Amino acid sequence: MSITVQQVLEEMRRIAPPELAESWDNVGLLVDAGRPVDAILTTLDITAPVVEEAVRLGCSLIVSHHPVIFDPIKRITADDLPALLLKGGVSAICMHTNLDAAPGGVNDTLAELLGMRDTVPFADGCGRIGTVDATTAKALAELCEDTLGPGVRYVEAGRPVLRLAEVSGAGGSYWKEALDLGADCLVTGEANHHAACDARRLGMGLVAAGHWATERPIAGVLAKRLKEAFPDIPVTVSRADTDPFTYL
C-alpha cells in the first residue's frame, strides 16, 4: 500500500499549521520527487547521509524540522541536497518555526522533557515558560546531559529555579524576555558569550544544551504521529541524523 505526498503534507499541516511559521521561514513540501510514498523517514536535519539512509530503506519521503532549502537558490550542483533528493527519488517536507510553535511540537516536547507544568508560549510563540519543582541551573544542565546528550554549558542562577523558560535551538537571545516574565532560568540550544555574562550579572540561570540536542527529540514525536495517521505505512526515525559537533 502507498499514499501520496499530498496526504502526508495535509497531515503535517494539521500537526504544524503553516500560518504559525515566521514570515522569513520556508516550510512545506520543499522537494517533490513525484513518487508515491511507501515509507517515511523522520529527521531533524536532511544531510547527505540521511538521504542515503532514506534511499537504502526505501523511504520515498523525508519529513524534517530544518528546511532543506532555506536561502534562495541561484545554482544547483549534483552534490547539493535538493539534487541528491531528486536523484534518489525522495521528496522532502520541512516544518520549521511552525513546528516550533505548534501544540505538541518542538518546544512542548522539550518542556515535557524538562518537567515543566502550566506552560504558556513566549518568544514569538516558539518558546514555553512555566513552573518546575525547585531545582538549580546545574541540575537542569545535568538533566539535559542525561536526556539530550553531551556538550551542555550553564550559568548558575544563584537562587532556586521555580519558574523556567525554554526555547529550543538558537534561542539564547530571548534571555531578557524570559527574565522580564519572571523566569529564574532559560534552557536553550545556543547562547552567546554576552548573554551568559548578562545572565550571570543579573542572577539568572542559563543552560545551553546544544541546538541539535534540544530539537532532535521531535523526530521521534513526528514518527509516532505519522504512524498513527498512516498505520499501514512504515515510519522510521533516522539514525544517520547526528549532531554535527564532536565533543571532547
Site of grid cell 511507501 = 38
Q: Give the pLDDT mean for 98-114.
A: 98
Tell me the one-letter amino acid at 155: V
pLDDT band at 176 (very low <50, low <70, confident <90, very high): very high
Residue 158 pLDDT: 86
Residue 226 pLDDT: 98
Q: Give the pLDDT mean for 56-64.
A: 98
Q: What mean pLDDT, rounded, does the chain reach?
A: 97
pLDDT, one tens digit per residue, over 146-164 is: 999 999 999 998 899 999 9
Q: Give the pLDDT mean for 123-143.
A: 97
The closest alpha carbon to 244, from 90, 49, 78, 93, belongs to: 49
Query: Does residue 237 register a pLDDT over 90?
Result: yes
Q: For residues 157 and 101, which has the higher predicted lDDT (pLDDT)?
A: 101
Q: Give the pLDDT mean for 122-139.
A: 97
pLDDT, one tens digit per residue, over 12-27 is: 999 999 999 999 999 9
Domains of the chain by start residue, with CATH? 5-96 (3.40.1390.30), 103-214 (3.40.1390.30)
HSE at residue 206, side-chain half, CA atoms within 13 A, is 27
Q: Give the pLDDT mean for 68-90.
A: 95
Q: What is the pTM of this model?
A: 0.96
HSE at residue 3, side-chain half, CA atoms within 13 A, is 20
Give residues with Cβ within 8 angstroms of 74, minimum separation 6: none
Q: Give the pLDDT mean for 58-66.
A: 98
Q: Give the pLDDT mean for 121-126.
A: 96
Residue 1 pLDDT: 79
Residue 248 pLDDT: 87
pLDDT band at 199 (very low <50, low <70, confident <90, very high): very high
Return the bridge partners of 128, or none. Answer: 121, 166
pLDDT band at 72 (very low <50, low <70, confident <90, very high): confident
